[in-house]
Structure 1
């Protein structure tokens, strides 16, 4: 993959004109974790809004943060309890101001979609329609839509575990050459399924390994579809992230991309970017725009892509129907993500699309650990150049004070421990 020459940051990314009076709307977030914390931070930085976070179990940084009012329902709470809490909160507030409701997990976006009619009486929910969500959140269907719209994607086959199985049932074979990658077609469908060896993504070396895993998944009660895909060569540094927002008129008003430098490698977090550098993927951005506009998308979207070294094309793996866990890379590069949804859903204003952002290094890990896994000399030079302008860590919100900085250091040290255990040295495949 070519490496852009290091260069000074762009002029500050174009700002969507923002409402100057805080408190013109209330923000309610479902869920917890880094992606929700940084979403709350974006709204607090831009509008001074404190998010009400409804979650089963929160995390300590959010409990301590000035950005959040966390209301925990308890580990035993059901999804229905979350919906009841959201409806109860709306009744408590009495509809005095617009109530903006967002989530940043596939299962919670699906939950909002399933209860759209109830929630829409009280909340503004800028999200895609149920049929579009159904099509795009399914990785098997996403691959088909990519092919239909001329968007490059890995070769894909589907294993359907929803059909009745005979006692002598055997997992189907695949015609894709090994090694292959396998994942659940719909992440939300796998959320409540538990079995030994469960991961977000599996790297499989032969047919026997594939068959054994598929049997384990079926026996655990998973009845959805699995996608088997060709392995695109390249380590973590060949991967990329694209974040987008599509407004009510079907216009993509935000497109931002970043090259992944290092992804997490624990079984439950495999593939989550731990370090990224913002850079434009011009050809891939236009493909993402076309796919969103042609499918009638609405709201935030996050694409996982990878550059294929065999022909230089970006391959699209999936689109998450939400802003994504690592959304802070967009905000800290000069395009605060809250502006786009507020202009669209609260202020009902047309804004100029943003595609140019500052060049920044986003990282959750210490620089020495990051540089251990960046092997290409030109890429190393680029990363060091950008790092000299400052490394952006999502946990270190100045308004949250010294505690946030201490927490960021603890997270970084924990990453060292996890990488040394699960991915002690870089590999050509990233697995």
Structure 2
């Protein structure tokens, strides 16, 4: 396979290493290949379908990757195999980011971890502390009550007295929640009354969850009211860049509910200004990904949470011509300014990044103006699919996209037959 003519190059030899193997692992590898012309080493516990058969990835199976010592040793083996190269280690899920925060001190000088220190990651990843920060700096956040694990059931109703039902229920500790196993598990829960909330709380507790619950009023509106915001802060804690994504459709599989499946490029100066207040108040560095919902009643932008990494749907940035891994390389590998000799795409370019099949996406888009925009973007061929990448074409890659599309069609038929707009 010939390497593409990459728009950027590195002055320092390096190898990107990604822990995981899910879809964003592949799209990260795709970005490294397209932007810098390099292959990515993926460390995974098995051979995941998202990277199987890829010509731009070296997949190394490490059965004990979840164990700290095994993870450190596996990364060092990659460094041993590439003498003279820096090793840039990334993760694609919150719990991988926290694990890297725990073990970063065990890596030798060849290894670079481009994330904030663990205490800051934990603070911003904690939904209760994030809500408190929003209040402190004056950023809109849904009215929230935290129900601690030791609050008696008889007190829960009074504690939630100021909120209007139905309510959204989330685990305050996402990494701990990730490992729970129980029937009917949903990433985000809903409760119509106190009885439903208490039943969910008991179920989670019996499964081993010992953290608090974050209970919020639900902001009205369907998937199309959701926005993504991705920002990059340099090592001095200054927000240098940010771009909005307009979500057209979210996943409605209970295990993945809320994950964006189709994103168009968008803009919002006010949203970026609010994110800047949050990030610079705590000295954040590197990428941050925010979930934001626009209230259809008055257009107010409510910040829900921060993900301490590039979001699962970061392909919306790559589609619109924004380098997403080059700033990491510039700053953390080369020691240069993250945007030196880096050109980002036009802020107003219309592109669609579609994880789900586009006809399925169109079926669920209800806003006439958005449907018109979607039609225009499709006619112009401005659509990016995650597994469709010309330098990495093979029957296995095509099959990965087909399997993914079929799975989404089946899941929507089972879990979300008609769009919800209220």
TM-score with structure 2 setting the length: 0.91
CA deviations 1:16-69 (Å, max 9, x no partner) are 983266x72111111111111101110111112111111112323413112211
Match among 368, 373, 385 for residue 393 of structure 1: 385
Match among 49, 52, 56 for residue 41 of structure 2: 52
> Would you identify which runs of 4 or more consecutive aligned residues in structure 1 move more than 6 Å?
none
> Is 2:31 the counterpart of 1:42?
yes
SS in structure 2 of the partner of residue 293 of structure 1 = helix
Deviation of 1:407 (Å): 2.6
CA distance in 1, matches of 2:256, 2:148: 24
Checking the alignment, whether the CA contact within 8 Å between 1:265 and 1:423 is kept in structure 2 is yes
Distance 1:332 1:401, change over 3 A: same
Aligned residues: 408
Checking the alignment, whether the CA contact within 8 Å between 1:33 and 1:58 is kept in structure 2 is no
Q: Which of 76-85 and 299-308 deviates more?
A: 76-85
CA distance in 1, matches of 2:303, 2:49: 35
Matches within 5 A, 1:373-384: 373-384=364-375
Match among 124, 133, 156 for residue 145 of structure 1: 133
Match among 208, 228, 241 for residue 221 of structure 1: 208
> Is 2:414 the counterpart of 1:424?
no
> Is 2:61 the counterpart of 1:72?
yes
CA deviations 1:166-207 (Å, max 9, x no partner) are xx8557222211111011112111122211221110122111
Checking the alignment, whether the CA contact within 8 Å between 1:181 and 1:203 is kept in structure 2 is yes
Deviation of 1:92 (Å): 4.7
Distance 1:254 1:317, change over 3 A: same
> Is 2:79 the counterpart of 1:90?
yes
CA distance in 1, matches of 2:371, 2:82: 52
Listed as ranges, the gaps of 5+ residues in structure 2 are 1-5
Checking the alignment, whether the CA contact within 8 Å between 2:232 and 2:242 is kept in structure 1 is yes
Match among 232, 249, 252 for residue 265 of structure 1: 252
Checking the alignment, whether the CA contact within 8 Å between 2:290 and 2:305 is kept in structure 1 is yes
Matches within 5 A, 1:90-239: 90-94=79-83, 96-119=84-107, 121-161=109-149, 163=150, 170=154, 172-173=156-157, 174-175=160-161, 176-239=163-226
CA distance in 2, matches of 1:344, 1:295: 20
Checking the alignment, whether the CA contact within 8 Å between 1:101 and 1:125 is kept in structure 2 is yes
CA distance in 2, matches of 1:224, 1:355: 42
SS in structure 1 of the partner of residue 156 of structure 2 = coil
Matches within 5 A, 1:322-401: 322-350=309-337, 351=339, 356-357=346-347, 358-390=349-381, 391-401=383-393
Deviation of 1:80 (Å): 4.1
Distance 1:120 1:113, change over 3 A: farther
CA distance in 2, matches of 1:377, 1:154: 27
CA distance in 2, matches of 1:51, 1:186: 30
Checking the alignment, whether the CA contact within 8 Å between 2:17 and 2:90 is kept in structure 1 is yes
SS in structure 2 of the partner of residue 301 of structure 1 = strand
| Greater relative contact order, per chain length (Cα 8 Å cut-off, separation 6+) | 1
Q: Which of 224-233 and 172-181 deviates more?
A: 172-181
Query: What do you get for the CA RMSD once the two structures are aligned?
Result: 2.2
> Is 2:408 the counterpart of 1:415?
yes
Deviation of 1:249 (Å): 2.2
TM-score with structure 1 setting the length: 0.89
Listed as ranges, the gaps of 5+ residues in structure 1 are 1-15
Checking the alignment, whether the CA contact within 8 Å between 1:333 and 1:360 is kept in structure 2 is yes
CA deviations 1:213-249 (Å, max 9, x no partner) are 0111112111112100110000000001111121212
Counterpart for residue 291 of structure 2: 304
